């Protein structure tokens, strides 16, 4: 006869609670899914910051008479002077000017410029007296006086991105498509994601634009010259360095002198807080991910070497770990950054080189445990080399707890970066949440300058901690928090 057991008398810990029980891994994994959604939004803000908050418009469709006039003046004044004085490289410069003008003016001036371009190339093939070239430039300048600018569609924000920003902008939707198309075969998913990523990269690298479209005065001049011009600006039409003294300490929801609304207010320098938070997310994630990648490389190499070879090697590595742990890591970071020049690269390097000890201890302990496993003893008996045993046989079993620890380490690195920026030891040219909080110390009446960046920083670190706890609970990891 089976005796029923009172559920209240169960003695399992929360991590061993059955599926559906209150608490335990079920609750931790549910919280981790919400934390992952929050971090997904944060990563999207960091990747697409130039499209969300910036001075450059997303799309400009207008005639550009000012740019046509600038090209015409160079053809009429600068290049004739260079020809008269025999300066080199004039032929190539004039050819590029004619090509640029052909894209700016409408018909029939564009067709005439194509003919003129062929004539200029013919003149360049017969070097000699500069007089025919001077006559040619005068004729082109006279034709451009009556030329009507063509309405063009430009993408200044996309064209201003660097290669790293373009790659991230392409990889993010590509990876999202691969994860979303679960019902398709693996090759089809990868092909769709790669095609989308390649399309975004090609669009950003070939997007047409002209210089000077990040200036409010230039945009106002374009709208004055072409009343039918269309300008699509980012949702937050302010960059992280856009400070307007007339918009200092505006309250949340107020309208600034430019006519745009400051949804979270401005700081004492007139910078929009939404723009600062969006670009600060990019800085925080860059420092967090890059520094953790560096400390994982150092920690895995040191811990794997100590745990596999043991003996004197283990003794040396263990003493090095103890030396680094004898000093508070934040004190080491502060001392190193104070003696080196400020910059994000220095912050990443210092954090990675001073906080690797936890990862090294974790990897060392796992290698000591796996060193007595049957598959490792069999690999040694078969004569496999030490690098092969470490990389192919032991390291895959160590990665799950190491990756869980990496999530906690990213949260700690973001907090260190914000602390350095708050103390004035970060990169002054990069937007940072800690930098905005530091500005709030001097304006006691403007509560929003400190409250909103502090809430975003708190929410980010909380989301990372909850995600790490969920991963550790689900995988049964022994990674330290």
pLDDT tens digits, one per residue of 239-251: 888 888 888 889 9
Task: Measure the CA–CA gap between 418 and 333, rounded to whole angstroms.
Answer: 12
Which region among 78-92, 159-173, 232-246, 379-393 has the lowest average model confidence (pLDDT)? 78-92
The dihedrals phi and psi of 182, each to the nearest 5 degrees, come to -75, -25
Tens of pLDDT, residue by residue over 183-209, are 667 677 778 888 888 888 888 888 888
Question: Which pTM value belongs to this model?
Answer: 0.81
* The predicted structure's pLDDT at residue 188: 75
Task: Measure the CA–CA gap between 481 and 468, rounded to whole angstroms.
Answer: 8
Cis bond before residue 108 (omega within 30° of 0):
yes
For every residue of 173-231, DSSP letters joined together read HHHHHHHH-TTS-HHHHHHHHHHHHHHHHHHHHH----TTTT-HHHHHHHHHH-TT-EE
Q: 272 to each of 231, 260, 282, 430, how far by Cα in Å?
A: 21, 10, 16, 15
Task: Measure the CA–CA gap between 74 and 373, rounded to whole angstroms.
Answer: 76
Residue 13 has pLDDT above 70, yes or no: no
* The predicted structure's pLDDT at residue 108: 82
Residue 82 has pLDDT above 70, yes or no: yes
Domain boundaries, the chain: 55-60+156-238, 64-150, 273-475
Give the right CATH number for 273-475 from 1.10.3720.10, 3.40.50.10860, 3.40.50.300, 3.40.1480.10.
1.10.3720.10
Residue 329 has pLDDT above 50, yes or no: yes
């Amino acid at each position: 006869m089976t005796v029923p057991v009172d559920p209240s008398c169960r003695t399992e810990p929360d991590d061993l609670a059955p599926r559906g029980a209150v608490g335990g891994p079920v609750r931790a994994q549910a919280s981790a899914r919400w934390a992952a959604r929050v971090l997904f939004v944060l990563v999207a803000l960091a990747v697409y910051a130039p499209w969300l908050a910036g001075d450059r418009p997303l799309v400009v469709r207008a005639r550009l008479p000012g740019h046509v006039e600038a090209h015409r003046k160079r053809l009429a004044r600068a290049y004739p002077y260079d020809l008269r004085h025999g300066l080199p490289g004039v032929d190539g410069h004039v050819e590029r000017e004619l090509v640029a003008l052909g894209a700016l003016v409408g018909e029939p001036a564009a067709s005439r410029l194509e003919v003129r371009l062929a004539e200029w190339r013919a003149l360049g093939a017969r070097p000699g007296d500069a007089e025919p070239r001077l006559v040619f430039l005068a004729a082109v300048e006279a034709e451009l006086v009556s030329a009507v600018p063509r309405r063009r569609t430009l993408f200044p924000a996309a064209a201003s991105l660097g290669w790293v920003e373009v790659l991230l902008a392409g990889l993010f939707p590509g990876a999202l498509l691969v994860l979303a198309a679960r019902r398709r075969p693996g090759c089809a998913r990868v092909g769709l994601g790669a095609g989308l990523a390649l399309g975004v990269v090609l669009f950003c690298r070939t997007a047409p634009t002209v210089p000077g479209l990040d200036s409010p005065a230039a945009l106002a001049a374009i709208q004055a010259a072409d009343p039918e011009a269309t300008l699509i600006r980012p949702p937050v039409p302010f960059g992280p360095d856009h400070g307007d003294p007339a918009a200092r300490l505006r309250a949340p929801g107020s309208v600034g002198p430019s006519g745009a609304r400051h949804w979270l207010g401005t700081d004492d320098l007139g910078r929009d807080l939404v723009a600062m938070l969006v670009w600060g997310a990019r800085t925080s994630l860059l420092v967090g991910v890059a520094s953790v990648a560096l400390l994982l490389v150092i920690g895995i190499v040191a811990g794997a070497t100590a745990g596999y070879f043991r003996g004197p090697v283990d003794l040396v590595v263990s003493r090095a770990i103890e030396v680094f742990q004898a000093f508070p890591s934040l004190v080491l970071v502060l001392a190193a950054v104070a003696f080196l020049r400020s910059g994000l690269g220095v912050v990443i390097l210092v954090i990675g080189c001073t906080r690797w000890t936890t990862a090294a201890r974790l990897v060392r302990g796992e290698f000591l445990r796996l060193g007595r496993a049957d598959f490792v003893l069999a690999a040694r008996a078969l004569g496999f080399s030490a690098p092969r045993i470490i990389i192919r046989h032991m390291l895959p079993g160590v990665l799950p707890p190491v990756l869980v620890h990496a999530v906690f380490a990213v949260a700690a690195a973001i907090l260190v970066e914000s602390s350095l920026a708050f103390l004035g030891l970060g990169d002054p040219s990069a937007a940072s949440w800690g930098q905005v909080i530091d500005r709030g110390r001097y304006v006691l009446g403007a509560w929003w300058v400190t409250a909103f960046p502090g809430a975003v920083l708190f929410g980010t670190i909380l989301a990372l901690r909850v995600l790490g706890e969920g991963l550790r609970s689900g995988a049964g990891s022994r990674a330290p928090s």
